Structure formats: structure tokens, C-alpha cells
Amino acid sequence: MKEKNTAIKKQEEAFNFLKDKIFITNNFKILMKKINVIVVGCTGYIGIELIKILINHKYVSIINICGNTSVGKNLSSYDRSLKNYKLPRIKKFSSKMLNDIDIVFTALPNGGSQKISKKIKNKKIILIDLSADFRLKNYLDYETSYKIKHLSKDLLKKSIYSIPEIKKEEIKKFNIIASPGCYPTSILLPLLPLISKNLIKKKNIIIDSKSGYSGAGRSIHKKFKNKNLYESISAYGISNHRHNPEIQQEFKKQSGKNVEFTFTPHLSPMFRGILSTIYIDINKNSSMYKIVGCLNKYYKDSMFVKIDQNKLISTNDIINTNYCFISVLKSKFKNKLIILSALDNLIKGGAGQAVQSMNIRMGFNEYESLL
């Protein structure tokens, strides 16, 4: 009875949140009013991609876009493809902007979203963060990885790490949504179902990931000044990349214990896209047939995750989309398999995934503005 009452209460809360957002026409057709959105951190690669998706969303009104060094400018000065859209000029964020706002998107450097969260006094406002500020449940992991003191530790338990295909029902219950990192998304989508079904060994997982340089943000051009950014590939963050705790956290939730994996990211001479090559050892009761079957079953209702077998996929397959393509391939060893996972780091690994979470949380069509 207690569980039933809890379910009824959650349904009532969802209705109360949405009731001001709908109206009924003379022919009794229910229509959704637009929600008011603010984007803080609009000029980075992720922020611009987010704006591009939101301007085509039929249930969203962008009320303000915010930046720091870009105040007073038009966003089209950062991306000419936006010049024909009517967007507000960039402003410096202030808490006054939160009046009559439904959703705040933060695409800020790590640490910035924590400060914004402190200024949100209206408990109905939803915060969707594209940084790492609310991804790690243990604030000590965050402070160790990012070298920043966590200012909103009390809100971590009120946030959800949101991979839409994996946590669809849970997302509906939270007002702080942490959108995952691009590398972890490419890794967790293929591996979490297999770990949960105990089809692969939880030791010696090797992950080799290559990303377009947009994943490093605009500052990458300063770091590579007078160097061959567009003609070289480089490994970085070996053994201590910031995304390691994020990946381990989600692995442990599925397996109940730590999973031994080696993750090596590479910066590639392409603007966008991620290709992760994952080497796994399979359990005795497992097989390629079972692994492909598991992934197909798990994602059978997921529009944006596509599973293949023995197919060579590339970033070219997913550029400018919200899809993740996964292919399971044989290796030359009987007890080993290779998984390829490809996605666009700015969309499925960033802005698109965040909007997908918003659609689920708000009760919109999950695919709205993403196809």
C-alpha cells in the first residue's frame, strides 16, 4: 500500500508541474504551452550546439542566453549559421533571470553550475548541467579529479546521472539532471547491459577512445598554438583521466563492485565525433550471439542506439546526429570480443543527450527536435 501511495503521489506531482503548461482548445484537444528556458554558457561548442537544437524545439522558448566575455554580442558572431534566427543578445547571468523560468541549462566550465544551483530558490525549476558538477555522487571523487572544491554537496543526492536510454523512468523524478560526459556515454551504452547480465569479465577491459578536438573546448586552439592540431593525434590523461571515476561509478552500480578497466583517450585531427574501441573477455556462459542479443533486447525501444554485428563503423555514420552506433566484432581469440562505439561528442555526447533528458523529464516526445 505504501508503494502504491508513493506512486500516486509522484503522478500528482508530475501533473501539478505540467498543469500550467497545457491548455484545452474548443475541440478539447490538449496542447502544450512552451516552456521558458535559459542557457548559461552559450558560446562554447556544446553551448552553441544546444542552442541549435533548442531553437527547433516546438515546446521551448529561449528567454536568455548568457556568457561572460561575450556580453552584448550576438551568438551569430560565434556561429554564422545562427544569423537568421531571432535570439536574445548575450547577457551576464543574474538570479533575476530565473523569474518565470522552467529550465536552466548550464554549459559552463566545471564549478560554474554549482554556483548557479545555489541561486535557484524556486524548487520547480529544473537544472540540466552539461559539466561534471553533479555527475559524481562522492564529492571527494569530484574534488580529486577536478581540483575544485564542491560548493553544492547537499544537492548531489538530489541529482541524477542521466543516460536517457538507461535511466528513463528515474529521470522523471529529479530536478537536477547531470548529463554524462561524451567519452563515458560511448563506453557505458555498450558495456552496462553486458555487465548487468554478467556476460563479460569485470577485469582487463581495455578502452581505446578517439575524439574530435571540439571535445576539448575552444581553449584547445591556445594549447596547440603553432602546433599541428589538424595533422596529429595524441594520447592524454593516461591512467588518470577525469572521466575514470564517472565510468567506475556507473560500472559499480551495475556490478556491485569495482570493475578493472584501462581507459586511454586520444585527441584526433577531426572537429567532432568519438570512436571507442573496447576489448572484452567474455564469460564461459557467454558468446557473441548472447552479447548481441542482450544489446538488441536492452535497446529495442531506444531510437538512438543502433546495434550491429561484425560491421566496421566510423564517426562518419553518426556526425551531426543524436545516435550511438555499436558494433560487436570477433577477435582472433575465442574468448575475446571487440566492441566499436561511435557517437557525436557534441550531440549524443553532449547537447542532444541533455535535450533528450529534458524531453523525458517534461513529458514531451523523447525525440522532439533530435531527428
Nearest to 44 by CA among 356, 369, 350, 355: 350
Contact between 101 and 124 (Cβ < 8 Å):
no
195-228 CB burial, b ≥16 within 10 A, e <16: bebebbbbeebebebbbbbbbbeeeeeeebeeee
Which residues are bridge partners to 160 per DSSP?
177
Decide: helix, strand or coil at residue 26: coil
Contact between 323 and 367 (Cβ < 8 Å):
no
CA distance 126 to 104: 6
CA distance 4 to 130: 34
Q: Specify whether 182 is catalytic.
A: yes
Phi, psi of 30, rounded to the nearest 5 degrees: -85, 125
Beta strands in 93-231 (DSSP E): 103-106, 126-129, 159-161, 176-178, 205-212
Nearest to 172 by CA among 359, 303, 365: 359
Host H or E run for residue 254: helix 244-255
Catalytic residue among 66, 182, 294, 324: 182
Name the burial class of residue 69, with classes exposed (0-12), middle (13-18) and buried (19+) by CB atoms within 10 angstroms of its CB. exposed
Residues catalogued as catalytic: 182
